[in-house]
Amino acid sequence: MSVHIETPRLLIRELLPEDDAAMFAMDSDAEVHKYLGNKPQTDIEEARNVIAFVRQQYADNGIGRWAVTLKDTGEFIGWTGYKLMTEAVNNHTGHYDFGYRHARPYWGKGYAYEAAKASLDYGIEVLGFKDIYAMTEVDNKASRHILEKLGFVFVETFNYDGTPFWREGLPVTWYRLDERK
């Protein structure tokens, strides 16, 4: 799967095996995982497994999360994009889960919104995605603000018992992308 999305400051591309060290630096930070169930990575092999999982999604589903890099330096700062949910989440299957995560040094600079908007637009306008949902831990006000700014609408709160990347039973908010005008 090849994707190339540019914004004024960012380049969004597929995740590559060589992103492992930067991905591990991001996901081993306890602050980054504060709203993901407080399970930061402890071994770089975990980051490699996540990248392999995403790359397999590219092969199996034609879609997966994308790396976000600074346009001027190529530095990996996080990821954004979609995941096709083939297993039930909050009684929904076959939908696109939209998400993003950035390393702490890049918080508060507008990168998360910039990358999320570009990848959301790409999914809708280029790939023709519909039925897009997102979720975030209930206390993650910054992430909820970004989702709402992007046009997602709060639907409900539920306890998430999904992938091993989040703590079992974590209370999360469930958002649906409304029709965009």
Q: What's the pTM?
A: 0.91
Reading the block at residue 158, the tokens are: 């539920």
For strands 170-177 and 65-70, give the pairing.
unpaired
Please tell me the distance from the alpha carbon of residue 52 to that of residue 39, in angstroms, as a whole number: 19
Closest CA to 170 of 78, 33, 23, 64: 33
Tell whether 109 is covered by a domain: yes
- Domain assignment present for residue 156? The answer is no
Question: Residue 94 domain-assigned?
Answer: yes
* H or E element that contains 51: helix 44-61
Number of domains composing the chain:
1
Q: Is residue 166 part of a domain?
A: no
* CATH code of 26's domain: 3.40.630.30
Write out the chain's pLDDT in tens, 181 residues.
Answer: 689 999 999 999 999 999 999 999 999 999 998 887 768 999 999 999 999 999 999 999 999 999 999 999 999 999 999 999 888 777 778 889 999 999 999 999 999 999 999 999 999 999 999 889 999 988 899 999 999 999 999 999 887 665 544 555 667 899 999 765 4
Range of the domain at 63: 4-132
